[in-house]
Structure 1
């Protein structure tokens, strides 16, 4: 099966899941979850449209990883309260470390000649790591703002929750940067 067909199946599945959840939230009159689901779905649709319009600007793998991640965190975590399960939040934050590194890699390729990357391998992995950790910090600031000014409960444990979230992202970022370091090194050795 072609990759494009797999991506189309993922998109259709995500749309069906969102539609089912929205119908469910309407029947149980959970208006907060209806609004959050609709906004999340709109964000996913915009991401998919931008990726198609700009000839896979972000790359299909990253876009599909993001839409699955968003669906799991928003529908599962926020709407169905999966955050009450031990380590659900940890898995999401470790995964966000990987995703942050994927985004950093794409942005790096935009500004560089791909053949120069092996020579800049150390800078590349440091950049990826710092970018991913920067995203984690910004996310924690957003959670703080939502809690403080809109009455959400994103940082259930306060400072402790924030520090564990950043630590989880650190773990994901370290694993991802090690993976990309060796991937670049392997590509460099093949070219020799």
Structure 2
């Protein structure tokens, strides 16, 4: 059986699981889970469509790992409360770190061999954004370590302080990447 056929079967299995899940949530009138399931399913469909539209921007294996991960985390974790199981959250976060590195590797090597300037710009913007958010995450880990093991009070509000710090970085990253994106576009127009 061809690899593409296997991936199509995986997609249909995921769609079926979502249909069963949404049907179940409708019968128990769990509107939160219905909305989360529908939004998650839409996200998966958009990911598949964009990957096909951009001529397999990511390898099919990565896309399928992502849709399975999304289904497990949203349907299983959030909607069916799998987070109650010991270390379920840890397994998801370790897996997401692994997936993130795989995607970064693919994007990096893809951008090195690509002649399409749009894709190179897209890589540059994604790289800048993710690097900035990664630095913010590492900084929060350092603050946590200082507080926990050396008695500092860097994270004055605990989780709330940490999340606001990360959200602040998110805002700054969006502004900076937007600025550089338009600067690159402007420089391209000048060169033409």
TM-score (norm 2): 0.60
In the other structure, the counterpart of 2:73 is 73
Figure out how many residues of one structure are paired with residues of the other and give that number: 127
| Partner in structure 2 of residue 24 of structure 1 | 24
Determine the C-alpha separation between the residues in 1 that align with 2:135 and 2:95.
12
Q: CA deviation at 1:136?
A: 9.6
Matched with 1:40 is 40
**What is the TM-score normalised by the length of structure 1?**
0.60
The aligned runs of 1:4-15 (5 Å cut-off) are 4-15=4-15
Distance (Å, rounded) in 2 between the aligned partners of 1:102 and 1:68: 15
Task: Give the structure with higher Rg (CA).
Answer: 2
User: Which structure 2 segments of 5+ residues have no match?
Assistant: 115-126, 141-157, 163-192
What pairs with 1:103-118 in structure 2 (closer than 5 Å)? 103-113=103-113
Looking at structure 2, the residues matched to 136 and 76 of structure 1 have their Cα atoms a distance apart, in angstroms, of: 29
Deviation >3 Å, runs of 4+: 135-138
Q: CA RMSD in A?
A: 2.6
How far is the alpha carbon of 1:135 from its aligned partner?
A: 9.4
Deviation at 1:137, TM superposition (A): 3.4
Q: Distance in 2 between matches of 1:73 and 1:106?
A: 23
Q: Tell me the residue number matched to 1:119.
A: none
User: Bigger relative contact order, structure 1 or 2, given CA contacts below 8 A and separation 6+?
Assistant: 1
